[in-house]
Chains A and B, each alone.
Chain A
């Protein structure tokens, strides 16, 4: 009897925790705050998780009242409930309750310059040199045609973007194409030198910067915030020496080139800079 009672209280705790996770994911999805945690392309998976959490949670509560003691075990050959002291049990369930409570309680924090300091900033992608010929022992799940197709697609896209950027009066680095435009700018800074550029980001300053130097930075997220990488455009604003770190700005200026830490990188000579509110979606994906 003792064991049966234990099993039904396990089922109860588990049901509550699963439904707690369900509520957390539900709240994040409904409020849109989920984008502060994971990238939009991963959100469909969260909907799947939402359905599973609800189903499993309800089934656990249903299991409490199971009449057949066999149903309390899953007969899978593994011992899922090794006998533990009450303290251990409490600790393990507390682990699960923790993310639910902190998620519901605390607001999501937007990564800012304190994180940049630790992560370092990525000023360019084309700075990296290594022999480009693929090695002979390469094997992959792709056929050659697939690769060429992907290659050709990307190549065509890149050329189209390049043509568009070269021909436009003013390049606006918008959120949707932030990565593409930035890598185009970084890949061939000479091509765009002197162009007028408008960009949004937060202010970051390296310790060794001059008064008027700053970086207009953005966090780029691939899957979740844990893999966020800082991208930034070096800029100099002679008339605005007092911009604070983490202040979001919309800057307009002309592109030029500079040398920073021995690397050639594009730099923005700011003509106009405006302090703005943090955008609704601070990350680019």
Chain B
């Protein structure tokens, strides 16, 4: 009975939504609400709609890994010596064509399958920048100064190594994922089920994980859209003059904007005449490694203490390397 009524209820709500779809031709409420609300709403939806396919990419990849890749395979692929694993990991992350929305569920899954923590972290910081699409978009956004695109890749490469090393130094391979009481050893593993069930398991798992992650995406998109609408960017350009301070400003800015790494170069280019190359590089390198949207997702999967430490490691390494770069090359 219970299930029957649940079914009816869902049909009813879908009917209501369908009604909205077909008959409510954008009611004239827009006159009654302030236009800035509509702007926030539009930007919010655009971030959600944009990220949706890539979140699915991430959760499906994660679900497939869960179902078809065994712990032994993962462990066999990773060099025994933890420090030897760092450079190969950075190179593999350059081949991984995933953006920052898709990478976190995949990495969580691989960590759970026994990938060492610092290797996973390298993927989280490296993969969103070190990929051909990001290189091409940076190259076109800064077509008059292609050095920006090369340097972005170079800095990201070096930073991924540094951050991987630091995470290994501070945390070794201790597990930093949130584990829950639900993971009882007597639960049957998906990999032991039959093939037909596996495919179903992939889908069920993907949608559960979508709901797990989606809420953080939505909260992140909400905050980012408010910032996008109301933050006066000319306030930021007022802080552009100081060599030590302006990279920090641009890093903070990259953090709250939460842009896709494929698109952020164009936003950075719009600051080209007010900010130094060093600050722009700080924006381009820091944003994809760590942003508001991603941080909220990290908090969902990792222990809060680790996330804070990880954020500190990224922030300090990016800042120091940018200052060093400014000092040596500019």
On whether the beta carbons of A135 and B130 are closer than 8 Å, the reply is: no
Choice from B63, B137, B153, B187 contacting A138 with Cβ under 8 Å: B153
Task: Contacts A76-B66, A92-B215 given; indicate if A111 touches B153 (C-beta within 8 A).
Answer: no
On whether the beta carbons of B273 and A263 are closer than 8 Å, the reply is: yes
On whether the beta carbons of A37 and B49 are closer than 8 Å, the reply is: yes
Is A133 among interface residues, defined by CB-CB distance under 8 A?
yes
On whether the beta carbons of A120 and B234 are closer than 8 Å, the reply is: yes
User: Which residues in A have their C-beta under 8 angstroms from that of B136?
Assistant: 150
A45 to chain B, nearest CB (A): 4
On whether the beta carbons of B7 and A227 are closer than 8 Å, the reply is: no
Query: In the complex, what distance in Å separates the CA atom of A125 from the CA atom of B27?
Result: 41
Choice from A19, A55, A99, A132 contacting B218 with Cβ under 8 Å: A99
Choice from B3, B35, B53, B153 contacting A139 with Cβ under 8 Å: B153
Interface size on B, residues (CB 8 A): 113
On whether the beta carbons of B208 and A74 are closer than 8 Å, the reply is: yes
On whether the beta carbons of B56 and A49 are closer than 8 Å, the reply is: yes
Query: In the complex, what distance in Å separates the CA atom of A45 from the CA atom of B229?
Result: 26
On whether the beta carbons of B203 and A21 are closer than 8 Å, the reply is: no
User: Which residues in A have their C-beta under 8 angstroms from that of B194?
Assistant: none
Choice from A65, A95, A107, A112 contacting B26 with Cβ under 8 Å: A107
A42 to chain B, nearest CB (A): 6
On whether the beta carbons of A105 and B229 are closer than 8 Å, the reply is: no
The listed residue with most B CB atoms (<10 A of its CB), out of A60, A100, A111, A137, is A137
Is A56 among interface residues, defined by CB-CB distance under 8 A?
yes
On whether the beta carbons of B10 and A28 are closer than 8 Å, the reply is: no
Q: Which one, B115-123, B141-149, B165-173, B304-312, is touching chain A? A: B141-149
CB-CB nearest in chain B for A102: B41
Choice from B212, B215, B230 contacting A118 with Cβ under 8 Å: B230
A121 to chain B, nearest CB (A): 8
Chain A positions 126-141 with a Cβ under 8 Å from a chain B Cβ: 126-128, 130-135, 137-141
On whether the beta carbons of B180 and A79 are closer than 8 Å, the reply is: yes
Query: In the complex, what distance in Å separates the CA atom of A77 from the CA atom of B189?
Result: 8
On whether the beta carbons of A46 and B266 are closer than 8 Å, the reply is: no
Chain A: number of interface residues, binned into ranges: 35 or more
Is B162 among interface residues, defined by CB-CB distance under 8 A?
no
Task: Contacts A45-B54, A104-B24, A227-B264 given; indicate if A56 touches B45 (C-beta within 8 A).
Answer: no
Query: In the complex, what distance in Å separates the CA atom of A34 from the CA atom of B206?
Result: 25
On whether the beta carbons of B232 and A117 are closer than 8 Å, the reply is: yes
| Interface majority SS (helix, strand, loop, mixed), chain A | helix
CB-CB nearest in chain A for B191: A75
CB-CB nearest in chain A for B230: A118
On whether the beta carbons of B145 and A132 are closer than 8 Å, the reply is: yes
On whether the beta carbons of A78 and B143 are closer than 8 Å, the reply is: no
Query: In the complex, what distance in Å separates the CA atom of A229 from the CA atom of B227?
Result: 15
Chain B positions 209-256 with a Cβ under 8 Å from a chain A Cβ: 209-212, 214-215, 218-219, 224-225, 228-234, 237
Query: In the complex, what distance in Å separates the CA atom of A38 from the CA atom of B262?
Result: 13
Is A106 among interface residues, defined by CB-CB distance under 8 A?
yes
Query: In the complex, what distance in Å separates the CA atom of A100 from the CA atom of B264?
Result: 26
B253 to chain A, nearest CB (A): 12
11 A-B residue pairs with CB within 8 Å: A75-B187, A76-B63, A96-B218, A100-B17, A105-B24, A118-B233, A118-B234, A140-B135, A225-B43, A226-B43, A227-B266
Interface residues of chain B, those whose CB is within 8 Å of chain A, are 2-3, 6-7, 9-10, 13-14, 17-18, 20-21, 24, 26-27, 29-30, 33, 35-36, 38-39, 41-50, 52-54, 56, 60, 63, 66, 94-95, 112, 130-132, 135-137, 139-140, 142-148, 150-151, 153-154, 157-158, 180-183, 187-190, 193, 200-201, 203-212, 214-215, 218-219, 224-225, 228-234, 237, 257, 259-260, 262-264, 266-267, 269-270, 272-273, 277, 329-330
Closest 4 CB pairs of A and B: A109-B38, A79-B182, A79-B180, A45-B53
